[in-house]
Structure 1
């Protein structure tokens, strides 16, 4: 089994290198395409992959993560994997050789087929919001964890991500990217549209919303709440072990294994308040007004603690 899994890893590495080669041959404007009014990375979210996404067969015991890009997706998906591995009582070797995490809209038919028989609880995620999930996730009553982050830090993290990621077009400047972010003219659309859908379902029994900032404040506590949400009772030692491996430093050090040679792209700083390095006063006021009109007075808006984290 270990050699078979290692082979799967090798195939994944080969596919990734193939994507990088294709990206180098495309013009910047060809790295994104529009589908149903929303932009997607053309090499990752192909029409074929999105068709497979809509046909995905969920299980009730799955652990599903929903997050707008750069809100803590890569961090939390690894926490979920840590919880799942603990529940499955996997050895360190088995953890080392387990298949890469599935981002549903990135997976082709072959990847979906491999994933179908993976040991429960299966862990996967998506950047689509709740209302665009495959119907089987809702029908099977799969529990959904939503992770959100304050919009200013999300925008800055997304900007740096696009600057370094060869599979996405590089912004000519922060000012240009900010305008596109505010207009929803980035991959997966508007942050605010995504957040409004999350707020709509925030009280559903099968939905849990947690924020990037909450996890920064108390990582072990966040791991405990997530595990309890999925019905798992972990010891304090197990919780602390998952949290220790889920720190930014630990995940960054392991990123070459989890994220190929783009580890430094996915794990840059992992801090709260980095927006102050790029936002002008005018941009800050514009974002404040947008938040006020969209999310002020909502339950998600309250959880984001905007005044604490986004006011100079």
Structure 2
């Protein structure tokens, strides 16, 4: 194994005020100059907000196979391409706005994201060390995690939806009534699928089926990149799991801080369903 161990657990690099992985920072000029096409569909999320789930649904809708974010592969993909990003709105390559691409943004409540991200940090070694849950929660609240502040991320995309073709989807709504949300997605994408096809999509994108699917559960990724014995990539996929992790004191501190950071925004989340 000739992988250099120093590619793991490296500190994040500041790119225009947002902490990103060193590997993205090194290729930043390539990211910035990425040329979107008018028929590209962008899937944007803050990490651990249902990215793989919604990507699978969109893949199934388009029946378009793989949505690799690797730029070289993207160039070879047949249109429409599904492009995934975790970038906050201000760092998105300008060609997406210029071409008025359709975008699907998936948002999940902050407490569940924080918990899921903590376990992801531990198993995916591209991240710096997570520290204790208490330490990680602090990092999350202050935006010192990969892709920066959850608060800025969800608010930034929420505001942009007024001016661009952005379908803002809530993870909790998807959990509660996936069929209804998929039908809304189809409308946004101007796609007409039979009831039977929609039911197929519902089945293949269900958590239990995806958890068994090597192309969505990341079990084919080698252990030295992602250690599934620490925590599986697809862990629980539920709403309200934060209750098993937060202490009363942490919850109270988090809520107070949340109120301050989300003040003035019309964005509303459900912490459980």
Fold conserved (TM > 0.5)? yes
Answering whether residue 264 of structure 2 is matched by residue 305 of structure 1, we say no
Mapped to 1, the partners of 2:215 and 2:158 lie a distance apart of: 35
254-263 or 212-221, which deviates more: 254-263
Post-superposition shift, 1:170? 2.8
Which of the two has greater helix per residue? Answer: 1
Name 1:76's counterpart in structure 2.
54
Q: Which runs of 4+ in 1 moved over 6 A?
A: none
How far does residue 168 in structure 1 lie from its aligned partner after superposition?
A: 1.3
Aligned to 1:52: 30
Normalising by structure 1, what TM-score? 0.78
Structure 2 counterparts to residues 48-127 of structure 1, below 5 A = 48=27, 50-85=28-63, 95=65, 100-103=66-69, 107=70, 112-127=71-86
Instruction: Say if 1:113 and 1:164 are closer, same or farther in 2 by CA, change over 3 A.
Output: closer
Rate the CA distance shift 1:141–1:282 in 2: closer, same or farther, 3 A: same
Provide, for residues 245-281 of structure 1, a one-character-per-residue CA deviation record: whole Å limited to 9, x for no partner: 1111111111356633347642111011110111111
Q: Aligned-pair distance for 1:162?
A: 0.4
Give 1:298 shift. Answer: 3.2
Give the number of equivalent residue pairs. Answer: 265
Distance 2:216 2:147 in 1: 26
Residues 198 and 300 of structure 1 are in contact (CA less than 8 Å); yes or no, is this contact kept in structure 2?
no
Q: TM-score, normalised by structure 2?
A: 0.88
Residue 119 of structure 1 and its aligned partner are, at CA, apart by 1.5
Q: 1:254 aligns with which of 189, 213, 219?
A: 213
The alpha carbon displacement at 1:294 in A equals 2.9
**Is 1:144 the counterpart of 2:103 in the alignment?**
yes
Q: How big is the shift at 1:212?
A: 0.8
Shift in Å, 1:188: 0.7
- Structure 1 residue 172 and structure 2 residue 131: aligned? yes
Give, in whole Å, the separation in 2 of the partners of 1:123 and 1:54.
Answer: 18
**1:271 lines up with 2:242 in the alignment:** no
- Give how far 1:227 is off: 1.9
- Secondary structure at the counterpart of residue 267 of structure 2: helix
SS of the residue corresponding to residue 119 of structure 1 reads coil
Structure 1: gaps of 5 or more residues: 1-16, 89-94
TM-superposition CA deviations, 1:180-222 (whole Å, max 9, x none): 1001010111000112212212334501101110110111222
Stretch of structure 1 that moved more, 254-263 or 124-133: 254-263
State the match for 1:6 in structure 2: none
Displacement of 1:74: 1.5
Residues 238 and 218 of structure 1: CA distance in aligned 2, closer, same or farther (over 3 Å): same
2:20 is the alignment partner of 1:40: yes
1: distance between equivalents of 2:216 and 2:137?
Answer: 32
More off after superposition, 193-202 vs 269-278: 193-202
* Number of the residue aligned with 2:255: 288
Aligned counterparts of 1:257 and 1:214: Cα–Cα separation in 2: 21
Tell me which of 201, 220, 230 is aligned to 1:242: 201
**2:88 matched residue in structure 1:** 129
Say whether the 8 Å CA contact 1:62–1:123 is kept in structure 2: yes
